[in-house]
Structure 1
């Protein structure tokens, strides 16, 4: 079903990561020595019960939080701050769209902020291509509050892949989708990996697991494979 993966040129490397959060009732060990490597061109899904630390791990990979111990490298570099979109793009559960920008402007934002912004024609073509692939090309001039959650989620995905990132992190990217809008989202996630990105998707959706090269779970703060017994 999946195409052969390109030769690895970028990766995600998580080694012995520990993260503890302080709560009034006492410290909570969310991650306890997490280890995970993702090759360039590989799509890996991450599952686990609510509160298992999936979002916490993605936050550290995207530079918005730091581990208490262990190391994290994205695209060969240690994470010390949020990386540029072309290096590591994030599709958060909350979408993170700029409400004052139109759909087209949101998707174009990573391209405009890049080191070498494309020409206006090339930028417009890339934005229109992505929105058409996701079936939302009629929404270019609308603002995020004017469209549905499912449409906002697709806009956020288009924005995440616009600059062709070397690493893509997605947190529950199909949570608000209906059956009709699911296939193009799955194709875009798979295509991102097939074009050479290292893709990590936190999800409970079996449809996403089916397009993955590998599935892993967070259980009791460590990474296991789905076939391992508790």
Structure 2
């Protein structure tokens, strides 16, 4: 049965757009469709959450939106440019489920990496501010293997937020956090959006949905706009 999908509402000033995204993965019985024609827009300063059952395609969608993977059909546009490879971190910063922290760098060095690579100023102050906001400022000189996975996740969020990107994608940003750490993470995500970044979050946590401007649902590989 096809997913109950209403018309996609176009946003004229969207900084992140997807049109007709499809993706299937190899399977012994033939290609397994995961995304079946996803359309979405996110505007500057907007925080949008995407929910869906495990296996609904949320992570697959985020991999396409940030250029980690390529769609079988359809296009992704970031900052007015059709995505053909992973964009600059200043255009689209990512908090993936795998985190992707460099084991040989401290948490502070990991968070500072996007700024160092682009030669930006005030790196130490900007990183210290975000790490402190996330409650891990005292752990900045530790390596990822020396802290909990939840603390690593906050460091990965700091790395994305400190870049002040046009788009920030966060895949399950509260999945590994203790209850007391969640408000700080939500505060950073909301602040980043309020500063003008388009923030898109895949989550199944009601706490995250409560800070959103819009909530979308991924059903059978499509965005169900009738549920928003």
Q: Same fold (TM over 0.5)?
A: yes
2:92 touches 2:165 (CA, 8 Å); kept in 1? yes
> Residues 98, 9 of structure 1: CA spacing in aligned structure 2 closer, same or farther, 3 A cutoff?
farther
Number of residue-to-residue matches in the alignment: 217
Q: Structure 2 residue aligned with 1:51, among 52, 55, 62?
A: 55
Matched, 1:31 2:35: yes
1:54-133 correspondence runs (5 A): 54-114=58-118, 116-118=119-121, 122-133=122-133
Secondary structure of 1:125's counterpart equals helix
Distance 2:75 2:103 in 1: 35
Matched, 1:166 2:166: yes
**1:27-80 per-position Cα deviation (integer Å, ceiling 9, x unaligned):** 111111111111111111011111111111110111111111111101211111
Distance 2:49 2:226 in 1: 11
Match of 2:211 in 1: 211
Match of 1:145 in 2: 145
CA-atom RMSD in angstroms: 1.4
**1:164-220 per-position Cα deviation (integer Å, ceiling 9, x unaligned):** 010000000000111211111001001111111111100001000000000011101
Distance 2:148 2:52 in 1: 27
Query: What TM-score, normalized by structure 1, do the two folds share?
Result: 0.91
1:9 touches 1:196 (CA, 8 Å); kept in 2? no
Distance 1:161 1:226 in 2: 31
> Residues 184, 226 of structure 1: CA spacing in aligned structure 2 closer, same or farther, 3 A cutoff?
farther
**1:2-47 per-position Cα deviation (integer Å, ceiling 9, x unaligned):** xxxxxx9661111111111121121111111111111111111011
Which consecutive unaligned segments of at least 5 residues does structure 1 have? 1-7
**1:88-141 per-position Cα deviation (integer Å, ceiling 9, x unaligned):** 000011111000001110011000011x421xxx11100110111011111011
> Residues 113, 10 of structure 1: CA spacing in aligned structure 2 closer, same or farther, 3 A cutoff?
farther
Secondary structure of 2:180's counterpart equals coil
1:92 touches 1:170 (CA, 8 Å); kept in 2? yes
Which consecutive unaligned segments of at least 5 residues does structure 2 have? 1-11
Distance 2:64 2:71 in 1: 7
Secondary structure of 1:101's counterpart equals coil
